[in-house]
Structure 1
Amino acid sequence: MTDEVNTLSYDSLYIGGEWHKPSSSESLTVTSASTGLAIGHVPLSTHADADTAVAAARRAFNDPTGWAHWQPIERARALVRLADELDARKEEMARRVSAQNGMPYSTSINFEAAVPAGVLRYYAALLEQTPTEERRAGVMGGTTLIHRTPLGVVAAIVPWNFPQTLTFFKLAPALAAGNTIVVKPSSETLLDFALLGEAVAAAGIPAGVVNILTNGKELGEYLVGHPDIDKISFTGSTPVGREIAGRAGKLLRPVTLELGGKSAALILDDADLASNTEALFFASLLNNGQTCFASTRILAPRSRYDEVVGFYEALAKGSVVGDALDPATQIGPMVSANHRSTVEGYIQRGIADGATLVTGGGRPDIDSGWFVTPTIFADVDNTLAIAREEIFGPVLSIIPYEGDDEAIRIANDSAYGLGGTVWTSDPERALRVAKQVQTGTIGINHYLPDFAAPYGGVKGSGVGRELGPEGLAHYQQLHSVYL
């Protein structure tokens, strides 16, 4: 399992139901986060290729007998076929993702290899249960027929940290609703999307319904302003999300934005740390800390502050750091050398700002790759940069508080509001605290988004919701017929 993924080279793009020769001869090199070596090459998509992809999606959407006009049960069956094809490729998908972005294989096999098929099957089942029309008695003496219709062509712009999981948070409900889609992944994770194209073709999804481009931020900007795109769904940083929201606002184009986070773990004074070790690791250090919902601000009661610091110090020191493809690895590398430099810059800033470096702060004794030792800071004030800005690495800040009210105040004193956790032995107290935290999602003694529940953020963490029936509704428009 620790052998590197073989070098893979692709010379075509999956557009319009076929492998399409790109308009440029340029290519992108994909590297391994664990070794820094090249592991693949894919063609570089240009504006002309984007135009071709959008046009293919538009033809597929406008086809009077096509995807948008299929009966929901027919689309549901197609989604299940795609889920089956993804299942057949799940080990290879997990390997490709881990090799590229440094996600531990133990994580990618449970997320990148499993979540896409699970989300597809959830929406396939939901289609069979959700009528597209309802009749509503009016107050003006008549009845209204409310018809839910697809929006049209969707542009999905997805990041590198959970590339397949976050793609299917968009792709599954968009397709279920009858839309067609153009997917633009991050330039750090492209080999897995070639595999996705193979699965889409094998599942018999009609030509043009799913189209996949390659390139970086510039092509995403082009799609946002493309005149034939009907909706933008973006997951990424808050600054980029603000840019997209501004452009989409001028175009009166709907958007769903799932952005950054700086979530808090509220450890109450009766929390059982030892019994929740695995869940606490998952909530804060999943995917090497490269997780938007991670609870990276640890709020600890002063009465147990030293104990909490010691617990996280042991958690960090006990984590297995290594090659992302090794099944034993718990903390893999950062996605790139540039991102590692960013994380290390925050560590140095935390030290300079007066926080106490408990453990970590450097690089492990590994010859290659973009590794950062899991890092714990104590004596952190919530005003420090390491407590306010998204680091996106294995760096945790432990902040003291006195009483539940102060813990809630500190948790809410943030520009973000995506995730969060509450840790306590008292269920009623947990729920009372959780309801007061200003965030789109929060877990009690664990954190794991559920396919059936809306997922998204408040404040600087975004607008709109993914997953659940609410996620499907974001890819539909309402058509009222007054009878």
Structure 2
Amino acid sequence: MNRDANRHTNQDKNGLNRNKNGLIEHGQLFIGGTMTDPAGRAVIDVVSPHTEEVIGRVPHASREDVDRAVAAARTSFDSGIWADRPPAERIEVVTRIKDGIAARHEELARTVSAQNGSPYSWSVLAQALGAMMVWDCAIAVARELSYEERRAGALGPLLVRREPVGVVAAVVPWNVPQLVAAAKLAPALLTGCSVVLKPSPETPLDSYLLAEIVTEAGLPEGVLSILPAEREVSEYLVGHPGVDKVAFTGSVAAGKRVMEVAARHLTRVTLELGGKSAAIILPDADPEEAVAGIVPSAWMNNGQACVAQTRILAPRAHYAELAERFAAAASALVVGDPLDPATQVGPLVAERQRRRSLEYIALGQREGAKVLAGGGRPADRDTGWYVEPTLFGDVTNDMRIAREEIFGPVICLLPYDTEEEAVRIADDSDYGLSGSVWTRDAERGIEVARRVRTGTYSVNTFALDMFGPFGGYKNSGLGREFGPEGFAEYLEHKTIHLPAGHGEVPGAPEAPEAPGAPGEHAGGEV
């Protein structure tokens, strides 16, 4: 890493390595597998959401840096240094990456928490070990993946090949940077692609740890570059003619812009966007179990999670009891320093996010919703971008607080009368990413899950399994991540028509005889 900037480092009380200026500072960019001086002098200051002080500094990648990174990726891919390796060899290298993340998971968790305010206990599970799980599950999928398949065609034997798509631009957000990066990097690298990874400017520090890990794992030069940058440079990367595929996670507005820019070169795009997921509590549900299960998935990561259960649908007959239970649970959540292991809700990533949440809280009150818990800044937090865990009651689904993604610790409780109405409310959304149902009758819950149009759904739990496809309906995105379906997004499919008698598949149907006289075309050209 940038040896000059980090020559004299000391660990602070949280185990973070800081230089003599008290900063986690890097002066170079990871381009093509090598630490390289940036083309420009612009820098990104990383600000602690807890103290509001600068804790780190990294170079801001420029367009020239993007050109160098894409050229390195293009060269490495076209040369076959990685793509032409046997899959087993790629799996070996990626397994070492996964092992490196496991070995440094506490350091990764501390770094992410310091940057974006995630509670450390949640960062260990989701930011670090969750990322490791993504890599691990992807490796398991890769072991079963076939890159060639013989099929019986209607006109003769076929050879169907799966080939890496090429150079991938992977753009990741600040809320779960390591997990989202893994969701893109793991299948891309395992299939043989080369990648330019673009971390968010709010959270670039952990990407330097990742650079160290992939270097130590033996990833060939040119296969991976990491470029922290703001929106303008991100857009330049997405629209670069040397990029074959864009994998993006972020807001709906940004996703639409990504799609628009990528369309100039017909670049393939997958988009994992926002959510406004509904947790349906059926009348027969155990209220204590439902509240205990929903609260962690509603306020997870300080409410900064696209899959958060931000709309809780309660049967009207039990609404008062559930409202009281949820309000008590929200009020009991421990708010504080994200690096304190006891903290359950930390600060939001930036002042703009705090302002956004507070504006939605004010809007909800104007719309007629009732604040049941929270509703402002914690009285004991003079510094830091904190917002109290907030619960709104008496919410109707036409209110903006129920329809728009707030991306903060603000949850809506909505009453319903019938199961059909609950499903209708859950579906009455521009989003379709996640959701859950809570009931003593699991089969009934499964039937509800089948009816709600959303990409992932849980019955009597909240889960995100990396062996199953993850993605959204409607404005929640395009394409899927995780599982074999996620791998398919990084592969091209080629059909090779084989000569008759070569590689025949047992049981193949005979080619149909064309209508008309023998030896004549039936009409039209192919």
Distance 2:208 2:228 in 1: 10
Q: Is 1:79–1:121's contact at 8 Å kept on the other side of the alignment? A: no
Q: Is 2:357–2:407's contact at 8 Å kept on the other side of the alignment? A: yes
Matched, 1:404 2:397: no
Q: Is 1:151–1:477's contact at 8 Å kept on the other side of the alignment? A: yes
2:445 is matched with which residue: 430, 434, 443?
A: 430
What is the aligned partner in structure 2 of residue 417 from structure 1? 432
Identity across aligned pairs (percent)? 48
1:377 is matched with which residue: 377, 381, 392?
A: 392
What is the aligned partner in structure 2 of residue 293 from structure 1? 307
Matches within 5 A, 1:5-154: 5=16, 6=18, 7-64=23-80, 66-140=81-155, 142-154=156-168
Q: Is 2:291–2:326's contact at 8 Å kept on the other side of the alignment? A: no
What is the aligned partner in structure 2 of residue 357 from structure 1? 371
Distance 1:117 1:360 in 2: 34
Q: Is 1:4–1:99's contact at 8 Å kept on the other side of the alignment? A: no
SS at match of 1:167: helix
The CA deviation at 1:270 is: 1.2
Q: Which moved more, 1:84-93 or 1:469-478?
A: 84-93
What is the aligned partner in structure 1 of residue 7 from structure 2? none
Q: Is 1:283–1:446's contact at 8 Å kept on the other side of the alignment? A: no
Q: Is 1:361–1:373's contact at 8 Å kept on the other side of the alignment? A: yes
Read off the aligned partner of 1:436 and give its amino acid letter.
R
Distance 1:166 1:127 in 2: 18
Distance 1:278 1:167 in 2: 30
The CA deviation at 1:116 is: 2.3
Structure 1 residue ranges, 4+ long, deviating more than 3 angstroms after superposition: 1-6
Matched, 1:247 2:264: no
The CA deviation at 1:411 is: 0.4
The CA deviation at 1:279 is: 2.3
CA RMSD of aligned residues (A): 1.2
Read off the aligned partner of 1:457 and give its amino acid letter.
G
What is the aligned partner in structure 1 of residue 286 from structure 2? 272
What is the aligned partner in structure 2 of residue 472 from structure 1? 487
The CA deviation at 1:276 is: 4.3
Read off the aligned partner of 2:40 and give its amino acid letter.
S
Distance 1:289 1:2 in 2: 27
SS at match of 2:335: coil
Q: CA 1:11/1:421 → structure 2, altered by over 3 Å: closer, same or farther? A: same
The CA deviation at 1:275 is: 2.7
Residues 224-256 of structure 1, C-alpha deviations (whole Å, 9 max, x = no match) = 110100000000000111111222234211111
What is the aligned partner in structure 1 of residue 346 from structure 2? 332
Distance 2:142 2:410 in 1: 41
Distance 2:471 2:44 in 1: 32
Distance 1:273 1:39 in 2: 43
SS at match of 1:111: helix
Q: Is 2:299–2:409's contact at 8 Å kept on the other side of the alignment? A: yes
SS at match of 2:125: coil
SS at match of 1:357: strand
Distance 1:249 1:44 in 2: 26
TM-score, normalised relative to structure 1: 0.98
Distance 1:450 1:456 in 2: 12
Q: Is 1:75–1:124's contact at 8 Å kept on the other side of the alignment? A: no
Distance 2:419 2:78 in 1: 55
Distance 2:140 2:454 in 1: 29
Distance 1:411 1:125 in 2: 34
Distance 1:16 1:250 in 2: 26
What is the aligned partner in structure 2 of residue 187 from structure 1? 201
Matched, 1:306 2:311: no
Residues 182-218 of structure 1, C-alpha deviations (whole Å, 9 max, x = no match) = 0001110011011111111111100111110011111
Which structure's CA Rg is the greater one? 2
1:156 is matched with which residue: 147, 150, 170?
A: 170
Residues 24-82 of structure 1, C-alpha deviations (whole Å, 9 max, x = no match) = 12211101111111110001100000110111111110113x10001010000011011
Give the length in aligned residue pairs.
481
The CA deviation at 1:2 is: 6.8
Matched, 1:169 2:183: yes
Q: Is 1:4–1:325's contact at 8 Å kept on the other side of the alignment? A: no
Distance 1:61 1:251 in 2: 19
What is the aligned partner in structure 1 of residue 214 from structure 2? 200
Q: Which moved more, 1:409-418 or 1:217-226?
A: 217-226
Residues 144-193 of structure 1, C-alpha deviations (whole Å, 9 max, x = no match) = 10000000000000100000100111000011111010000111001101
1:450 is matched with which residue: 455, 460, 465?
A: 465
Distance 2:31 2:292 in 1: 42
Distance 2:290 2:452 in 1: 21
